Amino acid sequence: MNKRGWFCFLGCILLLTSGLFAHAVQDSLFEKALDAESAGDIVLTVALLEEANSYQGNYNDEIQEILDSYYEVLRMKDATSEVLSEVDSNENKLNWMARLELVGIKYDEFGDSLSANEYSGEAYLNVGAEYEIRQDKISHFLLFCFASDVFMREDGTVFDTSRWAFTPSLEYTIQSERFVVSLGGDVNISERDGAVFSGSLSAERDFYLSENFRAGVSGFGYLNDNLRIRAKLGGYYEYRPLYGFWTNVAVSGRFERDTSVSAYFWRYEWMNEYGPDSVQERYYQGHNFKIGPELRLQLGYRFNSSFSVDFLGNLYWSYNPYEDEWMTFEDNFDENFDGEFDENFEENAERRFGPRLSTWNRQSLQGSMRLRGNWKGKHFGTYLSVGTYFRRYLGLPSGHPEIYSNAYILGEIRLGATFRF
């Protein structure tokens, strides 16, 4: 073989050897990058992937795709850091906001003999201002807003609500990296109830916090001057990356107190020689206390910084420790009564034919589901949601007044727009 032949042969050997060497080096670097990613070292992961991509091998396309995703996230984090730096440099910030929402409602009620179904609508407007003060890693928010609510219902309706309401409110929130606490108060001025004052307190505290995960405890309390009360205490776990799938699960103990429920009827008694007098008697009294566990599930998918789809679900089982009481007028006739004349007939009449008192501890299951699509820009956003609410009493005894409407389902469609400047 001449010198030229030897030179070509040696070149082929070197080329083949260098190719095999490049493949081996890329494989090794790629494996190290995956190990660094599993360990959570993003900087080392990107450096190893860039070095591996400099060699020609079997994984160049896959490595480049992974690098592109990292670059996108890192650019977003850089942009977020720039925004935070800008906010930090301007500690005090004032934002104006508004929300307009239109709601379509369909209501269906179910029972043994009575039922109701109807359509209605609602228009909601909220206008407010938020003042933010940042001090190191703690933010303070003071929010004042004014809400106007118009309810488009029929003249005869099952909805226990006013046709209109106005609600000025004030809220203060303090937030850090691991906790958020909000204290609020408002006065609801409506057609039916006049002015009703209320206050609320909510708090969250993270006991575990990482880049995409957090877990902790939360609490909520509400009270108005009609002594309606709601309180919750529980824990939550959340996975929320910058983009993609996210979820939040919370389990709480919940307590509620509403106004008591009573019902009356009129009967006539022959009181004097002028004729019968009407007498009002209460035949039903319900103490509306509720206590029990609550499960909340939220999940969604964030496609980019502007668009996301979310699912929100809630399930609450409640038990009333105070008994409902009502009078039944069923035939209590003694089966052993032989029809003969009874000298004590008048004394036994009430036992045989009159009312008797029945009791029951109320139990119910209620929940909600909502699917919502959101689009949010710098100053303008919009959303569309479809949801349903339901409630059903469990184990209602025969003769209970609510047997006639033991369950209801309320479906709604919401279309809203938000503005923030």
Q: What is the 3 state secondary structure string of 263-318?
A: EEEEEEEEEECCEEEEEEEEEEEECCEEEEEEEEEEEEEECCCCEEEEEEEEEEEE
Residues 101 and 75 in one domain: no
CB 176 within 8 A of CB 150: no
Q: Which of 58, 85, 112 is the last residue of a domain?
A: 85
Give the residue carrying structure tokens 């400047």: 421
Structural domain tally of the chain?
Answer: 2
Residues 15 and 109 in one domain: no
Q: What is the pLDDT of residue 341?
A: 46
CB 121 within 8 A of CB 414: no
Q: What is the pLDDT of residues 24-83, one digit of tens each?
A: 677 777 788 777 777 667 777 887 888 788 777 777 778 887 877 777 666 544 444 444
Residues 265 and 379 in one domain: yes
pLDDT less than 70: residues of the chain: 1-24, 39-40, 72-91, 112-115, 154-162, 265-276, 278-280, 329-355
Q: Which of 34, 52, 85 is the last residue of a domain?
A: 85
Residues 244 and 356 in one domain: yes
Residues 81 and 99 in one domain: no
Give the CATH number of the domain where residue 152 resides: 2.40.160
Q: What is the pLDDT of residue 104?
A: 92
- List the domain range (segments joined by +) for residue 363: 93-420
Q: How far is CA 72 from CA 47, 77, 305, 307, in A?
A: 16, 9, 12, 16
Give the residue carrying structure tokens 């890693």: 137
Residues 251 and 271 in one domain: yes
Residues 100 and 156 in one domain: yes
Residues 189 and 274 in one domain: yes
Q: How far is CA 409 from CA 104, 110, 284, 388, 419, in A?
A: 14, 8, 25, 7, 32
Residues 7 and 150 in one domain: no
The answer to whether the pTM exceeds 0.85 is: no
Q: What is the pLDDT of residue 107?
A: 87
CB 11 within 8 A of CB 4: no
Closest CA to 130 of 114, 113, 139, 143: 143
Q: Which of 43, 59, 85 is the last residue of a domain?
A: 85
Task: Give the max Cα distance, the chain.
Answer: 146
Residues 260 and 380 in one domain: yes
Instruction: Supply φ then ψ for residue 304, to 5 degrees.
Output: -155, -170
Residues 210 and 281 in one domain: yes
| CA separation for the pair 308, 137 (Å, rounded) | 28
Burial (CB count within 10 angstroms: exposed 0-12, middle 13-18, buried 19+), residue 30: buried
Residues 34 and 104 in one domain: no
